Structure 1
């Protein structure tokens, strides 16, 4: 199958997935939730004021027109305006997403490189006390809430020791660095502990394959066997994990952004939920669905680049 034919087929498949996702968004916010004007106006709302607000927000239009607006927004990225801030939602997402990436992208890159390298290297020491200690450490750390790491990091390393800045986030590549160091360390630690056992398992399964024994029998150094041969053959699950996590990078971490005062997209979504800003919440849901579908297609294409046995 040619690349363009495959891409056309996947894009057609993506259209139906996005259509289904937007329809679910429409059902949740326009049918299940009920009349948002009652939520916005509060307990003192009158039928007249609710009707006027409903007309102002376009909620009195036929259901198929409202659904068409949601479906169209998934392809045009024109989500209208926020109910609470009256700003263009696309502009809010663009600015907030870039800010979220300043904290999540470094942690994503460092965390994945670290966990893959350590898990691959520790296959040399499988079954040893160091291997058991690292696995036990990851189990213990993952059983602790991420909020604990944030509070300890702020209380001990920021306030008492004064090693990090945690408030006063400033935009700009160099200006934001002092304020994202501690959040990045916390996110890297959490990512490492959550992903280490998974990578360790797939790597232990791989090192018992025949080609690994053949490479060792030829006298190749262990580093060459691990980082050239084994790593190449486990790229499929690695790519799958990376692609799955990529959409969440743009939306940041709500806990991290809230406690460190980072005005990213995670904070935008949290404020929208608190203020019942339905257009912003719907936009975030639609963008998340679109990004998940797009990165899934990208992941399938990357499979063919790392494994020639996979055909489009």
Structure 2
């Protein structure tokens, strides 16, 4: 197991380097520092002196990869790539265009993002799996047919409709919860209950259909017929045998999502005014803050790789036949 983990981590290193290089090329080669200066200064006729001053203040006046004017290690370290991209491998994300420390901002905004994402993830998973098991248990019945119709209808509705409709109905009309914002401590639940409920409801349709398909694929397999021949109750077969054997494909989709919970929800946080990482990314895109966007892309790549490794490890928990040599 340890050798497998080390091997996977070594495989992940070139992937992160590739993501870093592609991101760097998009920001500094396709979109040069001069272009970034013109966009940030926000005026059509910018003097060359103003551009050079802006670049010098932010370290964009250095060579991209190799500084031929320097000597020794400074040839590589005194470059834009090392200072803006390579340092992210050690957690140094630098500063945003407004001067604030990006790592500190990420640390402070991670809590609100998790406060929404974790309850939404856990409740959504429990509701979807339970609903899918019920539909598979009563397969080919009226309950199953209308349940599938309901899932398709929920899938067909845009997530924006749930957000806007929920805010209008529960906040503006009934005034049960705040329409947006975020509170500290225990007071935060008033601001979280609506976005969490909307997140759960908007994801039930697609998740339930997927899990129902997995359960129905297991219903007619040999081990299920053997269990029925032994006289086991149908509920025991579903909740012990079928659910357990369908866990591998479920884990494939679920565990990968867990690290990405730290990234926050772009739409939910923006519409509800939650100061999380999702709204932080949206604000950075709107403000053309390339330092923040680069950092969030890199963190997303790291978390996705971590999710893939966790997925492989979780297989050993539900299927003893899976072993990593």
TM (normalized to structure 1)? 0.94
Query: Which stretches in structure 1 are left out of the alignment for 5+ residues?
Result: none
* Bigger RCO of structures 1 and 2 (CA < 8 A, at least 6 apart): 1
| Alpha-carbon distance, 1:165 to partner | 2.4
Rounded Cα–Cα distance in structure 2 between residues aligned with 1:36 and 1:304? 48
- Match of residue 273, structure 1, among 270, 282, 285: 285
User: Does 2:120 match 1:107?
Assistant: yes
**Correspondence for 1:55:** 56
SS at match of 2:60: coil
**Correspondence for 1:181:** 193
| Alpha-carbon distance, 1:233 to partner | 0.9
| Alpha-carbon distance, 1:162 to partner | 2.2
Deviation string, structure 1 residues 123-150 (Cα, Å, up to 9, x no partner): 1111112111111112112212111111
Rounded Cα–Cα distance in structure 2 between residues aligned with 1:107 and 1:159? 23
Rounded Cα–Cα distance in structure 2 between residues aligned with 1:285 and 1:304? 30
Deviation string, structure 1 residues 175-214 (Cα, Å, up to 9, x no partner): 2111111111100011211211111111110111110111
User: Does 2:80 match 1:82?
Assistant: no
**Correspondence for 1:66:** 80
Rounded Cα–Cα distance in structure 1 between residues aligned with 2:209 and 2:216? 10
SS at match of 2:248: helix
Q: How does 1:142-291 map to 2 (within 5 A)?
A: 142-172=155-185, 174-291=186-303
Rounded Cα–Cα distance in structure 2 between residues aligned with 1:168 and 1:104? 16
Deviation string, structure 1 residues 247-302 (Cα, Å, up to 9, x no partner): 33122222211221211111111110111111100000000000001111111111
User: Does 2:97 match 1:93?
Assistant: no
Mean CA deviation greater in 12-21 or 228-237? 228-237
**Correspondence for 1:301:** 313
CA contact (8 A) 2:257 2:307 kept: no
| Alpha-carbon distance, 1:71 to partner | 4.8
SS at match of 1:166: coil
CA contact (8 A) 1:18 1:74 kept: no
Q: How does 1:112-123 map to 2 (within 5 A)?
A: 112-123=125-136
SS at match of 2:256: helix
State how many pairs are aligned: 308
CA contact (8 A) 2:109 2:275 kept: yes
Rounded Cα–Cα distance in structure 2 between residues aligned with 1:208 and 1:126? 12
SS at match of 1:175: helix
Mean CA deviation greater in 223-232 or 272-281? 223-232
Kindly name which structure, 1 or 2, has the bigger radius of gyration based on alpha carbons: 2
- Cα distance change of structure 1 residues 248 and 166 upon mapping to structure 2, 3 Å threshold: farther
**Correspondence for 2:20:** 22
Query: Which stretches in structure 2 are left out of the alignment for 5+ residues?
Result: 66-78
| Alpha-carbon distance, 1:14 to partner | 0.6
| Alpha-carbon distance, 1:167 to partner | 2.9
- Cα distance change of structure 1 residues 220 and 74 upon mapping to structure 2, 3 Å threshold: farther
